[in-house]
Amino acid sequence: MRRGPTNCVARNLGPTLAAERPKQSKSEVPGASRAEQRQPKNPMDRQTLKFKIGLYLTITLSGAVVVFVLLVASHQREELLDTVSSHVTELSGVITRSLRFAMLRNQPTYVDTVIRDVAQQHGIDRIRIFSKDGKITHSTYAPEVGKTVDRKAEDCSSCHGIGKPLEEVPKSKRTWAFTTAGGHRLLGSMEVIRNEPSCYNSACHHHAKSTAVLGVLDIRYSLDEMDRRVRENVLMIAALSLGFVFVASLLVAFFVHRLVFLPLRDLETGAKSISSGDLQQQIPVRNDDEFGRLAGSFNAMTGALRNSREELHEWAHTLEQKVERRTEQLRVAQAEAARGEKLASVGLLASGIAHELNNPLTGVLTFSHLLREKMADGSQDAEDMDLVIRETKRCASIIRRLLDFAREKPPEKKFADLNQIIEETARFVERPAHLNNIDITLDLDPSLPPVWVDPDQMKQVVMNLLVNAQHAIDGEGRITIRTRQSPQPKTLQPGANPVPTAEFSITDTGCGISKENLKRIFDPFFTTKEVGIGTGLGLSVSHGIVEAHGGTIEIESELGEGSTFRVCLPLPRSSEVVENGTSGSNT
C-alpha cells in the first residue's frame, strides 16, 4: 500500500523538478556570464579559481536542493495520505454505525439514502456495501449494484489474497491507494460489517451465529486534491529553495570575493610588480587571518628585497666611486712619474749644457768688461759693448736657472710666516708693476699659523708667480694675493689621508690661458710669451719646489678673463710643531 504513493510522488515530482532545473540554471548562468563579461574572454577563464568555486558551489547547492525537495515532498505526501486515510477510516466507522439501525430494521432504501447523502461530501468518489460473497448490495453508483466483485481484484486482495479470508484485518491494510484507468488516484477504505449479537438475535434476520462477517463497507476517496496540494507545496518549496540557493550564492560569492579573491588579487598584483622590478608596491593587510599574515610576510619580503637592492646599488655606487678615485690617483701618479722622468731627462740635459756653456760665457763676460774699460763713454763702440755685456749676463742668468732646475736642491725647512714671505717678495715687483699701471693687492689672513717651509725657495715660488702674472697683463690690470687656512682638510698626495692646509693664491686680470695650454703649463721650457721675455722654466721650478714641500699647485684660467694660481701647503700637527721646535732650538 505504501509503495503506490511513493511511486506516484516520484512520477508527479519528475515534471516539476524537470521544470525547475532550467529555472535554477537561468538564475545561476546569468551571474556567471556577467562575471565573464567583466573579464577578458579567453579559454583560460574556466581554469580560474573563481569559476571553479562558482561551478562547484552551484552543483552542490542544486543537488542538495533536489534531495531536500524530494525528501520533503515524500514526507508531506505520506503525512497527507495518513491524514486522509485516518479521515476515511473514521468516516467508514461513522457510516457503519449510522447504518446499523436501518440494517436491523431491514430498510435498504434508508441505507441507500444515507450513503448517497454521505457521498455528497467533497472528495468522496464512491461508497459501496459488499455482501460476504462479494456481491455489491448498495452503491452510490447504481449500474454496479448486484454485481459480484472478483476476489483477486484490488478491493478484495487485502483479505482474500492468501485464499482464506482474514477474520481480523489489520488497520494498516484497511486503506490503499490506486490509480484508475482514467489516471485519477483514489484511496480505498474498507470497513468490515460484523455479525454482532444484536444481528443474529434479531427476529428480522436469518444470519446464523457462526457467521462472523456480514459484509464490507467500501469507500473510494479521491486523492486529486491532496496531489494538487502536494504539487503546490513542492513548487513553493522548490521556489523557496531556489531563492535560498540564489541568496546563499550571493552571500558566499560576496564573502569569498572579500576574503579570498581580493587577497589573492592583491598578491597577484604584488607579484607582478616585483617581477617588473617595482619593489615599492605594498599589499594591503585586510584581515588578521592567513591571507593577512601572508600579505604581511609578502610586504616584509618586499621591504627586505628593496633594502637589499638599495644596498647593492649603494655598494655599486661606492665601488664605482672608489674605482674612479683610484683610477684618477693612478692617472695622476702615472702623469707625475712621466713628468718626473721627463724632468730628470731635461735636468740632465740642462746640466750638461749649462756646464759646457758656463765657462765660455765667463770668459766672454770677463774680456768684454776689459774691452769696455778701454772704450770712451758715450761712443758707439761703448754702447755696443754694453749690449754685449747685458746679453751675456742674461745668458749667464739662464744657465744659472738651468743649473738650479737640474740640481733640485732639497729644501731647508723651518717655521716661517707665509704672510711675511709674500709681503717681502711683493715689494720687489711692486715698483715695476706700478710703472706698468698694475696694482698689487694683498688680502692676507692674520690668523694663519706658521708653515714648515724653506723661506728662500718659497720666495722664489711667489716671485715666479708674480712675474708670470705681471707678464700676462697687457696694460692696466690688477694682481690680488690672498692667504687663508683651508676650512676642510685636503688630500695633497695620491693615497694619502686628508690634512689641514694653508694656501695662498695669486689672481691676475691678464689674457688667461687656453685649455690646450693648461695641460702643458708646468712643462720645462714651455712658454706663450714673446721671445726674449721668458724662458719657460719659472712655473716648472715652482711646481718642483711646491711638490718638494708636500704641497700642490693648481691653476684656474679663462681665456681673456685672467688666471688664478693656488698653492696648498700642509700644516704641521701640534706634536710635529713641538718636536720640530725643540730640534730647531737645539740646533
pLDDT on residue 24 = 40
Sign of CA dihedral 339, 344, 348, 354: positive
pLDDT, one tens digit per residue, over 9-26 is: 333 333 333 333 333 433
Q: State which of 9-13, 172-176, 243-247 shows the largest mean pLDDT.
A: 243-247
The length of the chain in residues reads: 587
The Cα–Cα gap between 315 and 561 comes to: 42
Residue 120: phi and psi, rounded to 5, are: -70, -15
Does residue 578 have a pLDDT over 60? no
pLDDT, one tens digit per residue, over 59-77 is: 888 888 888 888 888 888 8
Does residue 458 have a pLDDT over 70? yes
The Cα–Cα gap between 72 and 159 comes to: 33
| Cα 489–chain centre separation | 45
Which DSSP symbol is given to 167? Answer: S
pLDDT on residue 503 = 92
pLDDT on residue 344 = 62
Residue 32's pLDDT band, with cuts at 50, 70 and 90, is very low
Higher model confidence: residue 155 or residue 91? 91
Does residue 351 have a pLDDT over 60? yes
109-123, 280-294, 313-327, 425-439 — which is least confidently predicted?
Answer: 280-294
Alpha helices per DSSP H over 176-261: 197-200, 224-256
Higher model confidence: residue 237 or residue 519? 237
Residue 567's pLDDT band, with cuts at 50, 70 and 90, is very high
Residue 126's pLDDT band, with cuts at 50, 70 and 90, is confident
- Give the mean pLDDT of the chain: 75
pLDDT, one tens digit per residue, over 531-552 is: 445 556 678 788 888 888 889 8
pLDDT on residue 14 = 38
pLDDT on residue 558 = 87
46-60, 207-221, 478-492 — which is least confidently predicted?
Answer: 207-221
The Cα–Cα gap between 331 and 128 comes to: 131
Using DSSP's 3-state secondary structure scheme, residue 180 falls into coil
The Cα–Cα gap between 47 and 565 comes to: 78
Residue 485: phi and psi, rounded to 5, are: -100, 130
pLDDT, one tens digit per residue, over 472-529 is: 888 889 999 999 998 888 888 776 788 899 999 999 998 888 887 777 777 766 666 6
Does residue 281 have a pLDDT over 80? no
Domains and CATH numbers, the chain: 3-230 (3.30.450.20), 412-586 (3.30.565.10)
Residue 294: CB atoms within 10 Å: 16
Rounded CA Rg of the chain: 66
Q: Are 524 and 536 in contact (CB under 8 A)?
A: yes
Q: Are 549 and 411 in contact (CB under 8 A)?
A: yes
The Cα–Cα gap between 155 and 160 comes to: 10
Does residue 407 have a pLDDT over 90? no
Residue 417's pLDDT band, with cuts at 50, 70 and 90, is very high
Q: Are 553 and 567 in contact (CB under 8 A)?
A: yes
Using DSSP's 3-state secondary structure scheme, residue 134 falls into coil
pLDDT, one tens digit per residue, over 375-391 is: 888 888 888 888 888 87
Regarding pTM above 0.85, the answer is no
Higher model confidence: residue 108 or residue 204? 108
Sign of CA dihedral 355, 361, 366, 369: negative
First to last CA, the chain: 142
pLDDT on residue 19 = 37
How many contiguous H segments (helices) and E segments (strands) does the chain have? Answer: 14, 12
Sign of CA dihedral 375, 379, 380, 384: positive
The Cα–Cα gap between 294 and 509 comes to: 71
The Cα–Cα gap between 422 and 442 comes to: 9
Among 514, 510, 507, 509, smallest CA distance to 554 is for 507
The Cα–Cα gap between 291 and 305 comes to: 21
Q: State which of 17-21, 82-86, 167-171, 331-335 shows the largest mean pLDDT.
A: 82-86
The Cα–Cα gap between 25 and 398 comes to: 113
Q: Are 580 and 587 in contact (CB under 8 A)?
A: no
pLDDT on residue 482 = 93
pLDDT on residue 411 = 79
Alpha helices per DSSP H over 105-202: 108-119, 157-160, 197-200
Residue 548: CB atoms within 10 Å: 16
Residue 211: phi and psi, rounded to 5, are: -80, 120
Does residue 303 have a pLDDT over 90? no
528: amino acid identity, one letter: T
pLDDT on residue 574 = 54
Which residue is it, cell 646599488? 313
Higher model confidence: residue 296 or residue 100? 296
Which residue is it, cell 508527479? 12
Among 298, 335, 350, 336, smallest CA distance to 537 is for 350
Which residue is it, cell 703649463? 521
Q: Are 544 and 408 in contact (CB under 8 A)?
A: yes
pLDDT on residue 348 = 63
Rounded average pLDDT over 283-290? 76
Q: Are 250 and 93 in contact (CB under 8 A)?
A: no
pLDDT on residue 33 = 39
